[in-house]
A and B are shown apart, each in its own frame.
Chain A
């Protein structure tokens, strides 16, 4: 990732540190995001997945709060002892506001053939909705399943091609969190961070957020928080570190996050090398065959 091409206009890289230990699951982030970015409703399906009825990040959900009920204690004593007699069975309810990770090495950006996806001067990854042609190459390139094509309900205005008015039609484009690029341009923090009442979503310069997260983790570990860990703060990981990283209380899979995300394009060099080798082998075989035939 580089914002070098912006020259003097490049800004320090910004992002989110989402601290799930203070999240109260109010979903203000989801609503503020939709309000600011004018995102269509995601539908009225009751899922029965605890209090989560949006289920995942997709074209119409750029912030998603996961709810996980677990038979585990929120904190454990330093010696890992079981709760004392007379205390109820352990129970905790984890809540986590998920968002696009704005990867250092962004698969979506690498895969985009039109230049609709670009790296902003803030180091974030944004889709230009007026450039995207809906090819969808970016969709499988995201190791988190974040970027997504938008389907729209059919309406009578779609006639005659929409007849009969069944199913959905494609908006034709892909959508995801822009880290409120327009707000950043105006010197404001993103809508979700602004709306978060408990500062679970913290916005700022990434370097500073990473330092803050390390201190926070050390404090929580000292207090015996069960399973506290950072996720996506390591620049050495498969996507070169997240622009939006997290403090979790369990394995990433528990939250529906990949444990070891890798940007697909990281394998490109190796893939091409293998391909080249195979091609060379093939050519050599062909050449040998011809050579043999000449006898």
Chain B
């Protein structure tokens, strides 16, 4: 999310899957799209049939590789080197899209004179504080931009992500603190201009370094770089598609940043067939960040208030809104949100109930919470739609944490491992936990499935699609909406009549939703209407441009404003594509403002003309004096291309008519990110937290800003340990869904992949005496698991640093319950995290693999411990 957010302004995919069919080249990396997004993959196949190149760069040869025009195998965890190599290839061979780079990106901007690049500092940028393990970002800023000293200091004084305003979570970048125009060098020659910094930074990412670090050949790498460049420019466009194969690393956000740089240099953002397709792993993962289940943002990526920040609403708005760009309207969005939640109780006199909002005071992310559970400070936990005992890194730590709780609520379709850990978890078998000694009171609440309730999914491309109820939920199964509505209703009934001020935020909530049927199911459409927002007469709003900061409008999520235009559920539209325009604007509804391809102002040149006839999309109509085209223009419709803001302009008016990235304070695509990221303004290769190799590019081994735990339950293998010589990567199969709660319990899916298995190359099988079809034990410093052995040429060995390295492939769907059972791959994983998003690194760690089944009972923890001690892992 912050990778795209800081680069372009919004934390969502820049394009949609249908538009991939218009690509001339699609690079799929960090994703196994054919297996995990088979329906969306039809447009990749359509592009291939039209002659597009489909390149899959991945540690494994998967079902995606099988239908790609080219597969390149690389070592898990080395992607920044490969992508950085492409950046270097573009710059060395002068393949960048010159007009696009000069006019639409921050390449000409000059950076602070005290900035020191990682290139000149052993892999660390200027501002590194080794005691706090954090960066002070002051020297990363643009030259001539004044940093809010006090705010900067205060905000960086906390653990977690605390840079300025919205950029804190990087969902939308922007947020420059000053209205001063940055210093630029239009010739791109100034030594401190971003273009020159970029050149120096990636100079060492040569094809040879790529080959030696990633394990592919120079020829394979150059073929990819050449194909990508050949299919980019005025007439041709290339797209990237990625998924959690990029995000689940201790430097994952920077993987996405590197691709963003490539796409900006090649001029592929905001254009048909271009873009970066962020593939989300569940039906509504995009929706769960838009209307967040995350602790540090409010709906529409508004910042969550902090206990030690903001004296009141005005202070919050002042500090969290950029002076320039669309975030200049943050006040309207925030006040409308408060009105949606507290209605008539939110008045100008009480700061629109701003004081009612909960405050955060620390990192409250999921792994932090697990640590607190282990420490005994978090005593209750509600798990809904998650199965951390199988799906989260370091399964043992997860289960030990659950066993320390006073109470636990699990809402799921079936009794998953997170609800049953106390009776059949691996620690019961090994004797590390005893059922009679676990005091956790577990409440299992059966959930209704998606066919048993109505509501919307916000899919991977920001598209809201409504689904209708097909059948009533069985027995005690209930929808999420039912559960939370009635829970809130009962709490409010208990508190009714209370005079305690702390109960006011709950009692003043707008909590009236029509219910129907025997179950008293609340109306999901009424919730959608509240999210969409309305004016003071209750009339549904049509666009976020109608939102006001004076309390006359309400809106539950400003980016969703318009989904209920004219009182019609726009997400429920299902007009077939052959009855409408090519981008199918009448199928569902996409945020923002039903735009399908965002930043599409960039599909025209600075003068507003299409870059080429073949790639025309949105352009300036000089006669009508407006932007028109195939999609909703992602630009002020009336703003002419030659518009130049005067120095005092604020908000959207401060964006030039030729700057397409309207959410950014300067309207530019950010090749270099001066603020908004915890671990550097330019992506830099660091080895995974656990790696068999030393970092051959820098002295700094791993991401210095990564988050690690001090837990005894979470030991790590030292770099290059011979005890854990293999790279292990985890993944999903088409046949199962994530932690398996939705698939392992179904006959028709369980039978298609009926056992946990491990994929190894014949060479590794020989090396470790593994036999196809027999069992193997895979061991890390945290755990040992067993799996059936699938020997396959698809796990190609790689040649890294002059030696052969084998990779071990593990699907992570299995647990102790269901029609098919098996050990959980995530038990092997550690809890080191990316510092920007607190995501675990399960795509690249180290292990050993041995023939035969793992030890049973108390012998199992002893086996793991003995190896760990031999490796010196702590």
Contact = CB atoms under 8 A, between A and B. Distances in A.
Contacts of A197: 38-39, 41-42
Contacts of A50: 790, 792
Interface in A87-110: 87-88, 91-95
Contacts of B35: 24, 26
B734 A26 contact: yes
Interface string A36-58: 00000111111010110110000
B788 interface: yes
Contacts of A51: 63, 733, 753
B754 A86 contact: no
A20 B220 CA distance: 27
B750 A26 contact: no
A26 to B, nearest CB: 4
Nearest to A60: B751
Interface residues of A, number: 39
Contacts of B748: 31, 34-35, 41
A85 interface: yes
B772 A48 contact: yes
A87 B217 CA distance: 7
Contacts of A22: 45, 49, 67
B698 interface: no
Nearest to A34: B748
A88 B796 contact: yes
B752 A88 contact: no
B794 A28 contact: no
Contacts of B63: 24-26, 51, 93, 95
Interface in A52-93: 53-54, 69, 71, 74-75, 84-88, 91-93
Interface string B716-735: 00000000000000000111
B772 A24 contact: no
Given A26-B734, A198-B45, A95 B752 contact: no
B747 interface: yes
A249 to B, nearest CB: 11
B135 interface: no
Given A24-B34, A197-B38, A92 B66 contact: yes
Contacts of A87: 217, 219-220, 223
A53 B39 CA distance: 22
B773 interface: yes
A151 interface: no
A151 B34 CA distance: 35
Contacts of A23: 67
B751 A44 contact: yes
A45 B820 CA distance: 10
Interface residues of B, number: 45
B866 interface: no
A26 B217 CA distance: 31
A31 B41 contact: no
Contacts of B65: 93
Given A22-B45, A26-B35, A46-B755, A69 B788 contact: no
Nearest to B219: A86
B148 interface: no
A51 B35 CA distance: 12
A252 B734 CA distance: 26
A199 interface: yes
A41 B217 CA distance: 45
Contacts, number: 110
A95 B34 CA distance: 13
Interface in B364-411: none
Given A41-B748, A69-B793, A93-B61, A199 B42 contact: yes
A27 interface: yes
A31 B219 contact: no
Contacts of B73: 88
Contact of B754 (A27, A44, A95, A198): A44
B819 A93 contact: no
A30 interface: yes
A18 to B, nearest CB: 15
B218 interface: yes
A134 to B, nearest CB: 25
Interface in A177-210: 197-199
B749 interface: yes
B820 A44 contact: yes
B38 A24 contact: yes
Residue among B223, B752, B794 with most chain A CB within 10 A? B752
A41 B819 CA distance: 11
B453 to A, nearest CB: 20
Contacts of A27: 734-735, 752
Interface string B776-802: 000000000000101011101000000
A257 B65 CA distance: 25
A84 B223 CA distance: 11
B794 to A, nearest CB: 6
B611 interface: no
Contacts of A42: 751
A170 to B, nearest CB: 21
B812 interface: no
Interface of B: 34-35, 38-39, 41-42, 45, 49, 61, 63-67, 69, 71, 73, 217-220, 223, 733-735, 747-755, 757, 772-773, 788, 790, 792-794, 796, 819-820
Given A48-B757, A50-B792, A69-B794, 5 more contacts: A31-B749, A44-B751, A71-B793, A86-B218, A91-B793
Interface of A: 22-28, 30-31, 34-35, 41-46, 48, 50-51, 53-54, 69, 71, 74-75, 84-88, 91-95, 197-199
Shortest Cβ-Cβ A-B pairs, 5 listed: A86-B219, A46-B755, A41-B747, A93-B66, A44-B754
15 contacts: A22-B45, A22-B67, A24-B35, A25-B63, A25-B66, A48-B757, A48-B772, A54-B751, A75-B69, A87-B219, A93-B61, A93-B63, A197-B38, A197-B39, A198-B42
